[in-house]
Structure 1
Amino acid sequence: MSLTTSSSRALSPQSPASHGHGAARPVRVQPAAPAFSPGTTLGIIVTVVAALYFGRDILMPVALAVLLSFALAPIVIRLRRWGLGRVPSVILVVVLMFMAIVGFGTLVASQLVDLARNLPNYEQNIRAKIQSVRGATEGGGGGVIDQASEMLRELSRELEQATTPSPEAVARQAAESGQLDVLRPIPVEIHEPRPSPWNEIQTFLGPLVAPIGTAGIVLVFVIFMLLQREDLRDRLIRLVGANDLHRTTEAMDEAGARVSRYLLMQLIINVTYGIPVAIGLYFIGVPNPILWGVLATVLRFIPYVGPVVSAFFPIVLSFAVSPGWTDPLLTIGLFLSLELFSNNVLEPWLYGSSTGLSPLAVIAAAVVWITLWGPVGVLLATPLTVCLVVIGRHVPQLQFLHVMFGNDPVLPVEARFYQRLLARDPAEAAELAEEAAEERPLSVLYDELVLPALHLAEADRQRGAFDTATQAAIAEGIDTVVESLDDYEEPASPDGDEDKPPPVPSRVLCIAGRNELDRAAAVLAAHLLERDGLKAEALPCEAVSLRNLNKLDTADVRLICLSYLNPESVQHARRVVRRLRGRLGTSVPIVVGLWSGQGTLPPPDAESTIAADRLETTLSGTIAHIRKQQIFGSTEG
């Protein structure tokens, strides 16, 4: 059902208009909606759930009508585009729907009558199968089932004898107490009067009154919603979102698109499931294959329960019809193969992200809605939950609905990567890195995944969230991730390998700035340089301390790269650069990496303050700069 609002009708009566030539009236800004407290949100949820439960007799027909209007609105819109008026289009669609329902009911009823007529013919096959099962379990002393049944009967008989006194004992006790004149109980029989014809009509038609009445109410609501679709849309917008037309329109369009796509895809999947069921059962020899194919198509609209019910009856019937075991096994195999194909091929291909629900959300929704509204709730569970998830996406106070039931990742991949490092699970962190590494250079992967995760760790370190042992564990986890990516194949460059110099035995020292997290970032840089053919080493921050600086092995060192995760470490980097200049002079270039995260950039004067040969903020930029240096080939420059 299209829910797009027109600009002429979407304007609020209170919206300002321009006056005069160039003069504009001041626009009064609407105050932001106050955020609900957790207690208020919980109270709203409890109230809504109670209203859904106690008002189900009224709300269920409305929900069914909305669902049908979502399914029928595209047909009405198409007929109107072909030149048919609004009222004739709605009447034609409703008549076609009514004819389809009547035809479906007639087909099912005729098939059920034919099945009931032939059931007595299958009694002999059922008896034969029972005898074969009993014969398979028989041993030398009788069948296992017979022995178990006889044992239970004997135990029951002994218990009755132990707990029920014999008649002689009762008479002896009565004689001793002088109560022999106790009257014996007189049997009493109750005969109900023959019901009147009116009572018989009520007994027969009573169970049909409620469903027929509900169907009539749903039909009236569907006609009304299809005729007044635009007016209902505008009234709903005015009621819930007149102050934020963009968000309200976006939410309504998204909900309508998702529900309509879900219904269409579900119908396609069910038809492609029901037709093979009918054809397969026909060739197997199960009676009334059309009935079971139609029921399989309809029942699959009910998540999880519907496929089981649709397969149960044909399988049981195949046991009754066939004198052997071949047809039942073929029937079971037919349903299993169709379920596997539908669940693993068709549904992922056709559904995609149409509903936006996680598998757990579908199960939870089915349980909740069947508790509130019974069997009808199972049919409405997925569409209603889709609407709730869309509301949660656009209403901040109800965002928990989108987080709990949506299929979108609730944590960015760098947060999941960091959480795995905190949980001392580097293997799963490596799996996340390998999944994210597809079709990306390794330097870009480090910049977009690993460094942001290390920035999260650095932020936790600065606020004192963990100790040095946790820092060391995170750094060790990075070592494991780097080892797992050592054989990663870079995507082919459009320029080939022309810019990549030949490898020579030149050393590059990647030195941590201040802590173990900086050393982890230095490990990333060293790994990228090693893949380029250099002999890169990652050293801890203690290697350039005043105590250990003279012990630093500088033989064949052609470049030094300092690594800092905190871009504010300008003064510390300046002091370290001075120490290295005093130790190595100016012949060895020094590159300082102030790896920047989201929203964190080095100070504008950082490069002039540090006085290094190069200041970089990304690993990819650092590696690209080092590749352009002459440390790969001659020593000039």
Structure 2
Amino acid sequence: MNEAPLPARPSRLNAELALKILAVLAVIYTFYFCRSLLLPIILAAFIALFASPAVRFLARLKFPKPLASLLILTLIVMGVGYGISLLYSPASAWLERLPLLSSKLALQVDDMAGSLDSLKSSMLPDNEDDKSPFDSALGSGFLPLISMLAQTTAMMLFQLATVIILTYLFLVFGGTLLRNIVRGASTLHEKKNLVKMYQTIEHDISRYVLVIAVINTMLGVATFAVLSMLGVADPLLWGVLATVLNFAPYLGPFILTVLLTAVGFVEFQSPGQALLVPTAFLILNVIESQLVTPMALGKRFNMNPLLVVIWMFVWGWIWGAVGVLIAIPLLVCLKIIASHFELLPYWRILLSADSEAQHNK
């Protein structure tokens, strides 16, 4: 009796998995190599998405939509510009002071351990007038460095202007584009799904960003108050950094903790006082991340921390610091779309926290 041949299902599954992996890699490399084109478009779309409720509010007050869009965009640009100008001087001063950290840390460790004298004497040059190889390399590469900085600045200004123009166009003509997309749908069910999806994304993303912005602002104010009581210079700068960096969960607070550790050793002589600065911020961040944010957002936006950090690293590699800051709103947006259309159920369960995943099961 002849046995029936086994179906070639494993090989077919392996081929499908390989195709999915290749498709994901192709998308990642497309976003990476086209970042100068795609980043301004996506950033402008997110800004327009956040600002569209304010534009609609002004439109209900009989403002023409182009004028309302221009007014809201002008307020956003003026607010960001004023904040940068307010923080530019203290930030520049700290950038000049932070190189002193290495020598001050060496003195702190020397006071605590008393065993670095020979190491420091062996590392210091015999003649202070002699130029080190680093100085020679810096001198020889000064003009190329200036040229590279000029090109980078010009590119950043061009992309900034592109983001502003695209944001205005999204605010003015985004509704028309959405109506044309809905009109192009083949069935009434698809049209309703598209409208509902857009309304859900706009509502949930706007709510998410508003709640996170309020919480991060409260964290920044608390950081400002605590550092002021500790006697740290320029507490407003660190409060603003706490607000901005906290938009990148886990990674942003870690970066600020490292910076505040350096600030503590620059500001204070005692190691205990120096370590009190980052410790105070860590306590505030734990209260925010473990108590305030989960209570404010609930389980709907609760996501696996490990995958969130990996996601931010991926977008940081693709689009740099801006990619890290918009990674979480982008992830929330994709999660809403997947939930709305019942797409990628395994991915949604994997992304969710343990409690939510078990509930879905």
Give the 3 Å change call, closer, same or farther, for CA 359–127 of structure 1 in structure 2: closer
Residue 223 (structure 2) aligns with: 277
CA distance in 1, matches of 2:220, 2:89: 18
Residue 54 (structure 2) aligns with: 75
Give the 3 Å change call, closer, same or farther, for CA 397–95 of structure 1 in structure 2: closer
- Contact 2:98–2:262 (Cα < 8 Å) also in 1: no
- Contact 1:319–1:328 (Cα < 8 Å) also in 2: yes
* CA displacement at 1:232 relative to structure 2: 1.9
Q: Say whether residues 1:213 and 2:158 are aligned partners.
A: yes
Residue 170 (structure 2) aligns with: 225
Aligned AA (1:223):
Y
The number of equivalent residue pairs is: 330
CA distance in 2, matches of 1:76, 1:335: 36
Aligned to 1:235, which of 180, 187, 203? 180
- Contact 2:264–2:278 (Cα < 8 Å) also in 1: no
User: Which shifted more, 247-256 or 399-408?
Assistant: 399-408
Identical pairs, percent: 24
Aligned to 2:45, which of 63, 66, 79? 66
- Contact 2:100–2:266 (Cα < 8 Å) also in 1: no
Residue 252 (structure 2) aligns with: 306
Task: Identify unmatched segments of 5+ residues in structure 2.
Answer: 1-14, 124-135
Residue 100 (structure 1) aligns with: 79
Q: Give SS of 1:229's match.
A: helix
Aligned AA (1:318):
G
- Contact 1:122–1:321 (Cα < 8 Å) also in 2: no
Residue 246 (structure 1) aligns with: 192
Q: Give SS of 2:62's match.
A: coil
* CA displacement at 1:44 relative to structure 2: 5.1
- Contact 1:303–1:379 (Cα < 8 Å) also in 2: no
* CA displacement at 1:81 relative to structure 2: 2.4
CA-to-partner distance for each residue in 1:269-295, whole Å, 9 max, x for gaps?
Answer: 111111111121112111111111111
- Contact 2:215–2:293 (Cα < 8 Å) also in 1: yes
- Contact 1:115–1:288 (Cα < 8 Å) also in 2: no
Residue 295 (structure 2) aligns with: 349
CA distance in 2, matches of 1:116, 1:371: 24
Q: Say whether residues 1:84 and 2:33 are aligned partners.
A: no
Q: Say whether residues 1:370 and 2:316 are aligned partners.
A: yes
CA-to-partner distance for each residue in 1:2-43, whole Å, 9 max, x for gaps?
Answer: xxxxxxxxxxxxxxxxxxxxxxxxxxxxxxxxxxx9567666
CA-to-partner distance for each residue in 1:118-165, whole Å, 9 max, x for gaps?
Answer: 679999965642431232xxxxxxx3x568x69x99xxxxxxxxxxxx
Alignment RMSD? 3.6
Residue 392 (structure 1) aligns with: 338
Aligned AA (2:147):
Q
* CA displacement at 1:393 relative to structure 2: 2.3
- Contact 1:265–1:350 (Cα < 8 Å) also in 2: yes
CA-to-partner distance for each residue in 1:517-554, whole Å, 9 max, x for gaps?
Answer: xxxxxxxxxxxxxxxxxxxxxxxxxxxxxxxxxxxxxx
Give the 3 Å change call, closer, same or farther, for CA 207–44 of structure 1 in structure 2: closer
Aligned AA (1:237):
V
Task: Identify unmatched segments of 5+ residues in structure 1.
Answer: 1-36, 136-142, 154-188, 417-637
Which has the greater radius of gyration?
A: 1
Aligned AA (1:62):
I
Give the 3 Å change call, closer, same or farther, for CA 330–70 of structure 1 in structure 2: same
- Contact 2:264–2:276 (Cα < 8 Å) also in 1: no
Q: For residues 116-265 of structure 1, what are the structure 2 equivalents within 5 Å?
A: 128-135=107-114, 143=115, 202-238=147-183, 244-265=190-211
Give the 3 Å change call, closer, same or farther, for CA 211–358 of structure 1 in structure 2: same
- Contact 1:273–1:297 (Cα < 8 Å) also in 2: yes
CA distance in 2, matches of 1:318, 1:200: 32
Q: Give SS of 1:68's match.
A: helix
* CA displacement at 1:394 relative to structure 2: 3.6
Q: Give SS of 2:233's match.
A: coil
* CA displacement at 1:267 relative to structure 2: 0.6
Give the 3 Å change call, closer, same or farther, for CA 56–122 of structure 1 in structure 2: closer
Aligned AA (2:225):
I
Residue 336 (structure 1) aligns with: 282
Give the 3 Å change call, closer, same or farther, for CA 265–195 of structure 1 in structure 2: closer
* CA displacement at 1:268 relative to structure 2: 0.8
Larger helix share, 1 or 2: 2
CA distance in 1, matches of 2:254, 2:221: 17
Give the 3 Å change call, closer, same or farther, for CA 200–368 of structure 1 in structure 2: closer
Aligned AA (2:246):
R
Q: Give SS of 1:374's match.
A: helix
Higher relative contact order structure (alpha carbons within 8 Å, sequence separation ≥ 6): 2
Q: Give SS of 2:210's match.
A: helix
CA-to-partner distance for each residue in 1:417-437, whole Å, 9 max, x for gaps?
Answer: xxxxxxxxxxxxxxxxxxxxx
TM score, norm. by length of structure 1: 0.46
Aligned to 1:55, which of 11, 15, 34? 34
- Contact 2:101–2:265 (Cα < 8 Å) also in 1: no
Give the 3 Å change call, closer, same or farther, for CA 84–354 of structure 1 in structure 2: farther
* CA displacement at 1:345 relative to structure 2: 1.6
TM score, norm. by length of structure 2: 0.78
Give the 3 Å change call, closer, same or farther, for CA 400–200 of structure 1 in structure 2: closer
